[in-house]
Amino acid sequence: MLKGIHPAISPDLLKTLAEMGHGDELVLSDAHFPAHQLHHKVIRADGIGVDTLLKGISPLFEFDAYVDAPLIMMQAVAGDSLDPSVEQRYLDAIKSAVGNVPNLERIERFAFYDRAKQAYAVVITGETAKYGNIIIKKGVTPVK
């Protein structure tokens, strides 16, 4: 265990976050997401909600400031509906960790899958909320 690292961040996830470069994307998927079908680099975070991971990742991760929306979620399929509390939980987790929230956009389901295929990695979480997937895009880490 390391000081200052949220206990939900596994060694594999910490290594992956450190390896990622500017513009790389990480998928935090719900428990139903077809991660192994879509991607070769899959990290397990069973039993951990996406909001918990966002709270742990956000202080370690600079969100990309060079895109309109470094947060991407899936749109509801026609005839289906979204639970707005899912998005709000995610945004609240980021805000509580870093004090502000970058822009979020929603994209069509198959566009989301295509984007997930191009991501640096996919983290399968224990999230059970419908449409509980989010992609986060890494920016340039500021020099302090």
Which DSSP helix (H) or strand (E) runs through 73?
A: strand 71-74
Percent of the chain having pLDDT more than 70?
Answer: 99
Tell me whether strands 42-45 and 121-125 are parallel, antiparallel or unpaired.
parallel
Residue range 52-57: mean pLDDT, rounded: 98
- Give the SS3 label for residue 116: helix
pLDDT at 25: 98
Is residue 100 part of an annotated ligand binding site?
no
pTM across the whole model:
0.96
133 labelled binding-site residue: yes
131 is in an annotated binding site: yes
Break the chain into its structural domains and give their ranges: 11-138
Please check the confidence at residue 142 and state whether its pLDDT lies above 90: no
* pLDDT given for residue 2 in this prediction: 80
pLDDT in tens, 89-102: 999 999 999 999 99
Stretch (H or E) spanning 124: strand 121-125
pLDDT given at position 133: 98
CATH 3.40.1710.10 matches 11-138: no
The reply to whether 22 belongs to the active site is yes
Give the pLDDT confidence score for residue 143 in this predicted structure. 83
Q: What is the mean pLDDT of residues 123-138?
A: 97
Cα separation values, 76 from 62, 79, 82, 112, 135, Å: 28, 8, 6, 11, 16
- Residues 6 or more apart whose Cβ sits within 8 Å of residue 9: 17, 53, 56, 57, 60
Q: Which of 6, 22, 32, 40 is catalytic?
A: 22
pLDDT value, residue 33: 97
pLDDT at 45 exceeding the cut of 80: yes
Instruction: Report the Cα–Cα distance between both ends of the chain, in Å, rounded.
Output: 25
